[in-house]
């Protein structure tokens, strides 16, 4: 049952990530408010990772950006919050790995900050 729920969380997480990345490909002619939505969605996603990383510091003894969905998924897989397999885990790295594209952990973090930067530029200069 734990495997079913961890797979479900992985799928839910994947849907969020695909939607988040996919917003770059939605033309403004179809959705005029896309830039604002994408900006605030990105702030929520990145903010969640910063906040959750801070909240689990008593268990991890270090600061890492961590999505709470990753923590739930890893707990269902049997990893404790204090286990590096939890707080050092990158969903983006795992997601791309399942598609055959292996990216380093830092690459996943760089991708997150690149999206944040691009969406911020779009929000302040092109909406």
Query: What's the domain range around 63?
Result: 2-12+35-125
Query: How far apart are the C-alpha atoms of 5 and 22, rounded to whole Å?
Result: 25
pLDDT at 87: 79
Any idea which residue has 């594209």 for tokens? 101
Give the mean model confidence (pLDDT) for residues 30-49.
97
pLDDT at 90: 85
Judge whether 65 lies within some domain: yes
Number of domains in the chain: 1
Judge whether 83 lies within some domain: yes
Query: How far apart are the C-alpha atoms of 28 and 24, rounded to whole Å?
Result: 10
pLDDT tens by residue, 67-126: 999 999 999 999 999 988 887 888 888 888 888 988 888 888 899 999 999 999 999 999
Per-residue pLDDT band for 25 (boundaries 50, 70, 90) equals: very high
Cβ(11)–Cβ(102) below 8 Å:
no
pLDDT at 50: 95
pLDDT at 37: 98
Judge whether 30 lies within some domain: no
Judge whether 23 lies within some domain: no
């Amino acid at each position: 049952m734990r495997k079913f729920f961890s797979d479900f969380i992985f799928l839910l997480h994947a849907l969020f990530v695909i939607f988040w990345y996919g917003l770059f490909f939605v033309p403004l002619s179809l959705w005029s408010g896309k830039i604002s939505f994408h900006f605030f969605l990105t702030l929520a996603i990145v903010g969640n990772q910063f906040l959750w990383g801070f909240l689990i510091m008593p268990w991890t003894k270090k600061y890492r950006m961590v999505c709470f969905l990753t923590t739930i998924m890893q707990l269902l897989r049997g990893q404790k919050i204090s286990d590096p397999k939890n707080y050092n885990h990158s969903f983006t790295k795992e997601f791309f790995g399942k598609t055959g594209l292996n990216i380093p952990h830092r690459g996943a973090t760089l991708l997150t900050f690149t999206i944040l930067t691009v969406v911020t530029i779009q929000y302040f200069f092109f909406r």
